[in-house]
Amino acid sequence: MSRSVPLELIAAIHSHDKFLCVSHVNADGDAYGSVLGMIHLLRNIGLQATPVMPEPVSPDFAFLPGAEEVLLPEAVDVAEYDFIICLDMSSPDRMGALHQAAEQAQTPLLVIDHHVTNTHFGVVNWVEPDAAATCQMLTRLADELFAPIDLNAAMCLLTGIVTDTLCFRTSNTTPEVMEAATRLQRKGASLPWIVQKTLNRLPFRILRLWGNVLPGVQLRERVVWAAVTQEQLRAADCEDDDPRLNSVLAAVEEADMSAIFTEKRDETGRPIVECSFRAKPGFNVGDVAFRLGGGGHAPASGCTLPGSLAEVVDRVVALLIQERRRQAIVFEGEVST
């Protein structure tokens, strides 16, 4: 299952000095964890490494060692760097403003990612869709680079693994994932502390949002879904929807697939809907999202569609129900309770 790290990646890193590490907009724990983890690993073998993110660091991840060093794209002169290492990013547009800067400066990109939808946009691309987190891949890369995993690196990498697997609950939590996590614990990273800092924190406004949204949740043919309006978000004092609602719906016993639809507007003010999907083991929502112009994996995916909330919900729920039916036939043996 674990493919080897491309030799070109090792060679590119070992033969150069200055690296910029970046991840995607709307960053999650694996994005921050892999960028900061990589910074610490590179420094541990004497290289210069700078973290940059397309948006200011979320207060939720300010606890990560190195978070205070993260720069915004406008503070960086891309031309100064030998390589940009793109972590946990499926396509170059996901790095925001840095994308244009990198193209202008013609700084080469090294890609390290676990998204199956990765477009292989680097000069070297190490993409492992079987990995549960980019941070999991970096624990292997550390060995190949002969980079010691210090406490700082361990905390960052374990955070990415914990958040991307919802603390070892996702279907891609293989023994290799558990071994990587244990190793990072042994390097001093506290699993309970990271869990407390990331997954076991429910802001009161999220509870309010659930109170607004859950009365409207629907279940049909083993597909469960909820629509989140701007009014509901405002009433709960939430700026954006929250991935925890996805996890709640994804746990519904009577459903194989779940979806959250969030009402938004694009830059021009036109109505759009952000769709987020989850599937139980044996089912796949990756293809549905891909067909709708989005991306992701079999168990979790998403897309953004133009249109009103009601229109998009109707259309996409019909598609999910159809797709679930098709998959239930294909995987019939596995669908039993």
The footprint of its own copies (CB under 8 A) covers: 167-175, 178-179, 181-182, 185-186, 191-193, 195-196, 199-204, 207-208, 210-212, 214-217, 219, 224, 248-255, 280-281
Distances (CA, A) of 24 to 54, 97, 185: 7, 11, 26
Least distance to its own copies, CB of residue 203, Å: 5
Between 116 and 252, name the residue whose CB sits nearer to its own copies: 252
Least distance to its own copies, CB of residue 296, Å: 17
Least distance to its own copies, CB of residue 159, Å: 14
Pairwise CA distance, residues 134 & 41, whole Å: 14
Between 116 and 217, name the residue whose CB sits nearer to its own copies: 217
Torsion of CA 6, 23, 123, 108, to 10 degrees: -130
Pairwise CA distance, residues 122 & 247, whole Å: 33
Pairwise CA distance, residues 155 & 135, whole Å: 10
Least distance to its own copies, CB of residue 247, Å: 9
Between 87 and 228, name the residue whose CB sits nearer to its own copies: 228
Least distance to its own copies, CB of residue 101, Å: 35
3-state SS assignment for residue 158 = helix
Between 148 and 211, name the residue whose CB sits nearer to its own copies: 211
Do residues 41 and 13 lie in contact, with contact meaning Cβ atoms separated by under 8 Å?
no
Least distance to its own copies, CB of residue 249, Å: 8
Q: How many CB atoms within 10 Å of residue 330?
A: 13
Between 50 and 172, name the residue whose CB sits nearer to its own copies: 172
Phi, psi of 168 (to 5 degrees): 70, 25
The residue type at 169: R
The conformation of residue 4, written as its DSSP 8-state character, comes to P
Between 178 and 305, name the residue whose CB sits nearer to its own copies: 178
Residue 199, judged by CB atoms within 10 A of its CB (0-12, 13-18, 19+), counts as middle
